[in-house]
Structure formats: structure tokens, C-alpha cells
């Protein structure tokens, strides 16, 4: 039976400062806390139909073979679909929160070409905010 992927279920990001990362994803990107398992060093944030799991480095389920923070990236980037995509309003919101903003461009994603904006979370992970595809 061939595998048919419908969507991303979750992404796990290893964090040196869990509290700061929860603040960013909750207050800047508006991802509410879905579930906290602090005994495991894990906070799961709701991102639409998907989850962003924030895992404290050194937490019970962190893998020691993942290496120290800052020695490479935990991932290349996380892309989340946002609606509406108003680049000016998004930039104003991100700047208000002191987020480091990257390049805005038309990029290809799961639904085709559309607007996107890169930014970085407090630990340098790149996030892509992706708008609706072009008509």
C-alpha cells in the first residue's frame, strides 16, 4: 500500500530557552499552548491543524546524540500557512515584537506559488509565513 501524506502533523524544535520560545510562538505567532508536559521538557503549541512541539535541550525525551545547541540547525525552516496574508500588517506585528524579519518573496508551497515572508525565532530557527496561492 503506498503512503499518502495529507499534511504535516507536527514539527519538533529543540530549545535552549523553553520559556522564551513558548513566549515567541504564543505571543508573536499566536500559537496557543495545546499541552504541557514539563516533566518531559515538552510544550506542544497548536498551529492550525498541526502542532509545533518545543523540546527543552536536556529534557527527559531529548536525545543526547542531537548535540549541543548552536552546533548547526535543528531544522532548515518551518513553513506555516497564514490567512490573510497582508505583508505590511505582518511586518508591523513582527517588528512590534522585535522579531528578526527575513526576505519576502513569491515561493512555491503545498498549494502552489504564493507570497511568503521569512522570519527567525529567538533561537535562530527560520520560519516561513505562507499566504494563499496565486489565482
Do 13 and 74 form a contact (C-beta atoms < 8 A)?
Answer: yes
- Count of domains for the chain: 1
* Residue 47 within any structural domain of the chain: yes
- CATH number of the domain that residue 89 is part of: 3.10.180.10
Alpha carbons 104 and 114: distance in angstroms, whole number:
11
pLDDT at 64: 73
Please state, rounded to an integer, the average pLDDT across all residues of the chain: 89
pLDDT at 73: 62
The model's pTM is 0.81
pLDDT at 115: 94
pLDDT at 93: 94
pLDDT at 72: 61
Which residues are 126's β-sheet partners? 77, 120
Q: How do residues 17-61 score in pLDDT, each as one tens digit?
A: 999 999 999 999 999 999 999 999 999 999 998 999 999 988 898
Residue 62 confidence (pLDDT) above 90: no
Residue 35's domain spans which residues? 10-62+74-130
Residue 83 confidence (pLDDT) above 70: yes
Amino acid at each position: 500500500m503506498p503512503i499518502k501524506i495529507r499534511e504535516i502533523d507536527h514539527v519538533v524544535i529543540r530549545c535552549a530557552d523553553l520559556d522564551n520560545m513558548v513566549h515567541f510562538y504564543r505571543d508573536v505567532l499566536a500559537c496557543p499552548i495545546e499541552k504541557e508536559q514539563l516533566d518531559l521538557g515538552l510544550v506542544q503549541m497548536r498551529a492550525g491543524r498541526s502542532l509545533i512541539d518545543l523540546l527543552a535541550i536536556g529534557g527527559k525525551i531529548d536525545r543526547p546524540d542531537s548535540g549541543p545547541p548552536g552546533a548547526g540547525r535543528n531544522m532548515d525552516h518551518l513553513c506555516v500557512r497564514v490567512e490573510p496574508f497582508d505583508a505590511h500588517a505582518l511586518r508591523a506585528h513582527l517588528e512590534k515584537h522585535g522579531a528578526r524579519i527575513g526576505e519576502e518573496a513569491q515561493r512555491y508551497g503545498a498549494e502552489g506559488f504564493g507570497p511568503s515572508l521569512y522570519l527567525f525565532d529567538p533561537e535562530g530557527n527560520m520560519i516561513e509565513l505562507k499566504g494563499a496561492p496565486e489565482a
